[in-house]
Amino acid sequence: MKRKSVGTHFSSCVQPAFIIGTKNEDGSNNFAPITWVSATCEKGNDYWLVISMFGKKRTKENVLRTGKFSANLVTTALLPLMDYLGTHSSMKQKKDALPFAAGLGAVLDVPILENSPWIYECEVGKTAEVGESTTFFCRIRNVQIDETLTCADPFDVDLTKIDPVVYSGMYHSIGKRLGKIGDFTEAE
C-alpha cells in the first residue's frame, strides 16, 4: 500500500453519533448531537464515557452547570432528528419543529430520548480544556438498552441490530457484523 501526506486538518476519526440530553436553567429539555464520544476505563469494568464539545453551545453550558447529561445513541431511524438538532442552534431559536418523545433518566434527572436503543446516564467526574474544546470524563451511572437486545458480556453487542449512525465528516451506518476478536487469527 502506498500512502501520501495530506495535511493535519483532515480527519478520518470515525465516531459514534449521540444526542446529548441536558436540562436548561429553566428546567426545559435540551438535546444536541455530539459525535466526539469515546470511552475509557478507570479499573476493572469501571468504564467512563468521554465526550468533547467545541465552542460555545447551550449543551456545553448545561453540562458545566449541572455536571450531568444523557447520551442517547443515534440510530438510522433517529438520523433526521440528529440532523435537525445539529443544524438549528438553541441559542437562536426553539428547536421544536420535529416531534419526538422524551422522558427522564432512571437514575439521574436528565432528559432521554424514548426512541434511542442505548442510553448512558452520566455524571461528570473530570474536565480538560484544550483551546475552545472541553472534554468531559464522565462516570456512567446507568445504562438503558432496548429490552430486545441481548448482551452476554460488555463486548457482545451486535451493532447490526442497533443500526447506529457513525460520523466521519458524513453519516454512515454499519452494514454487517464481521466477527469477534480472534476470529481472523490464523491457526497455529
* Helix, strand, coil content of the chain in percent (nearest 5): 15, 40, 45
Compute φ and ψ for 118, nearest 5 degrees.
-145, 115
Q: Give domain status of residue 63, yes or no.
A: yes
Count how many domains the chain has.
Answer: 1
Long-range contacts of 58-63 (CB under 8 A, 24+ apart): 58/22, 58/24, 58/30, 58/32, 58/90, 58/91, 59/20, 59/22, 59/30, 59/32, 59/34, 59/90, 60/134, 62/22, 62/23, 62/24, 62/25, 62/30, 63/20, 63/22, 63/124, 63/136
Q: Give domain status of residue 183, yes or no.
A: no
Q: Give domain status of residue 22, yes or no.
A: no
**Structure confidence at residue 140 (pLDDT):** 96
What stretches in the chain show pLDDT beneath 50? none
**Structure confidence at residue 157 (pLDDT):** 83
**Structure confidence at residue 171 (pLDDT):** 87
**Structure confidence at residue 29 (pLDDT):** 94
Q: Give the domain CATH number at 58.
A: 2.30.110.10
**Structure confidence at residue 129 (pLDDT):** 95
- How far CA 44 is from CA of 11, 15, 41, 57, in Å, comes to 31, 24, 7, 34
Residue whose C-alpha is closest to residue 91's, from 59, 131, 51, 64 = 59
For the question of whether the overall pTM of this predicted structure is more than 0.75, the answer is yes
Q: Give domain status of residue 132, yes or no.
A: yes
The domain of 151 spans 32-173
The strand pairing partners of 106, in sequence order, are none
**Structure confidence at residue 137 (pLDDT):** 98
